[in-house]
């Protein structure tokens, strides 16, 4: 087992290094995920302690917390109508796409609703089991959807943001929000001062402590949110938030490993007969991401990058990682992602039961 863990780490590190060298967006995360997916499809080697993800997500939350300012938190109060609009549009898209797949692919409607819902793999699988849907198909479809969205989003975002910039949209600055603003709270271990080292240790300890508290709270995305907002408050109050680039990339790599290990040959076999409709729905989510991003941008005037990632149907932690790497505002992205996740967990089961009673 130890040998498998070391091989997994080596392959993930190699994938991260290659992706960073190729300047792929969020390279440490995406490179590790792709490398482990390939390793998992062709071998049974990938192995990694699942509890380590708690630590990596806590560190990602700490990094995001270092980037959030008091002004960011104050702006979130203006987002009530846009976030509700996003949640309603996503719900309608899920219901319509599920109805089409059910009609033309012969999949039970209730199963389709949870298979394509923009929620987490574990959450949707457990809810599917509770309401009598096909848990195996839901789990496999959710894994495929999540991994495809996470891997494709950085590339689609890069293309989309460049295109919109050419069209004259305010990509780099809107209402005082700068896309690539300097972040003095993020640096390198190789040029760290004694004071920065103390701040780094304080940030890591705060992030890990509150991240673990968030995990045991049982709340949706509790690990990320507790860690992020604890470090945010600490940084606003004391100015001592600091995160080394190498620590951030290590946390991203671990998150990439966990994502990559979710795709297996068994998942692909389960999806074999319905691969085309599943693939088309995933493409639909990516297109909806672009359209919703434009809508939210016009409604809120946050940066285009923040609007794009705020409306993504990927995991909240993963979108936080990618948005931070590509200039999005972590506070704005997280606010929208929390509402998306909560709406999926609370509304979708009730609506599915109402539409398709047991």
User: Quick one: pLDDT band at residue 177, thresholds 50, 70, 90?
Assistant: very low
3-state secondary structure of 23: coil
User: How many helical (H) and strand (E) elements, i.e. helices and strands, does the chain have?
Assistant: 16, 4
Rounded to whole angstroms, the Cα distance separating 182 from 186 reads: 9
Confidence band, pLDDT 50/70/90 cuts, at residue 227: very high
pLDDT score at 284: 94
Do 299 and 82 meet the contact criterion of CB atoms below 8 Å apart?
yes
Q: How many whole angstroms separate alpha carbon 36 and alpha carbon 259?
A: 8
Percent of the chain with pLDDT over 90: 25
DSSP 190: G
Q: In the prediction, which pLDDT does 341 show? A: 83
- Please report the pLDDT score of residue 265 as a whole number: 81
Q: What are the tokens at 212? A: 């673990």
Fold annotation for 51-355 = Na+/H+ antiporter like fold (1.20.1530)
Model confidence, pTM: 0.76
User: Is the pLDDT at 170 greater than 60, yes or no?
Assistant: no
* CA–CA separation, 55 and 231 (whole Å): 15
For residue 133, pLDDT beyond 80:
yes
- Show Cβ contacts of residue 72 under 8 Å, excluding neighbours closer than 6 positions: 329, 330, 331, 332
Q: pLDDT tens, 64-116?
A: 888 777 777 777 778 889 999 999 999 999 999 999 999 888 888 999 999 99
State the DSSP H helix or E strand holding residue 236, giving kind and residue range, or none if neither.
Answer: helix 222-238
Residue 109 is encoded by which pair of tokens? Answer: 């409607």
Identify the pLDDT of residue 163. 79
């Amino acid at each position: 087992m130890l040998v498998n863990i070391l091989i997994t780490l080596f392959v993930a590190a190699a994938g991260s290094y290659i992706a960073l060298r190729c300047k792929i967006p969020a390279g440490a995360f995406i490179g590790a995920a792709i490398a482990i997916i390939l390793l998992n499809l062709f071998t049974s080697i990938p192995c990694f302690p699942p509890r380590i993800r708690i630590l990596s997500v806590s560190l990602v939350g700490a990094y995001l917390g270092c980037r959030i300012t008091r002004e960011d938190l104050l702006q979130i109060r203006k987002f009530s109508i846009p976030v509700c609009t996003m949640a309603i549009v996503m719900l309608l898209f899920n219901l319509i796409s599920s109805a089409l797949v059910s009609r033309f692919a012969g999949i039970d409607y209730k199963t389709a609703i949870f298979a394509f819902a923009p929620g987490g793999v574990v959450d949707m699988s457990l809810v599917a089991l509770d309401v009598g849907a096909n848990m195996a198909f839901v789990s496999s479809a959710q894994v495929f959807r999540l991994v495809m969205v996470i891997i494709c989003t950085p590339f689609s975002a890069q293309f989309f943001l460049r295109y919109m910039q050419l069209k004259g949209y305010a990509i780099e600055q809107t209402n005082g929000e700068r896309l690539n603003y300097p972040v003095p709270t993020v640096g390198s271990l190789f040029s760290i001062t004694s004071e920065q080292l103390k701040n780094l240790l304080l940030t890591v300890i705060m992030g890990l402590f509150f991240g673990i508290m968030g995990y045991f709270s049982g709340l949706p995305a509790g690990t990320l949110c507790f860690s992020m907002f604890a470090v945010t408050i600490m940084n606003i109050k004391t100015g001592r938030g600091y995160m080394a680039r190498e620590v951030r990339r290590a946390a991203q790599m671990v998150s990439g490993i966990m994502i990559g290990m979710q795709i297996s040959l068994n998942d692909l076999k389960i999806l074999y007969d319905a691969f085309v409709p599943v693939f088309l729905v995933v493409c639909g989510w990516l297109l909806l991401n672009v359209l919703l991003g434009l809508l939210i941008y016009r409604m809120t005037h946050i940066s285009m990058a923040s609007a794009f990632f705020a409306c993504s149907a990927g995991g909240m932690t993963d979108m936080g990682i990618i948005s931070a790497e590509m200039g999005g505002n972590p506070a704005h992205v997280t606010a929208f992602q929390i509402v998306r996740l909560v709406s999926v967990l609370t509304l979708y089961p009730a609506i599915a039961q109402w539409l398709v009673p047991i």
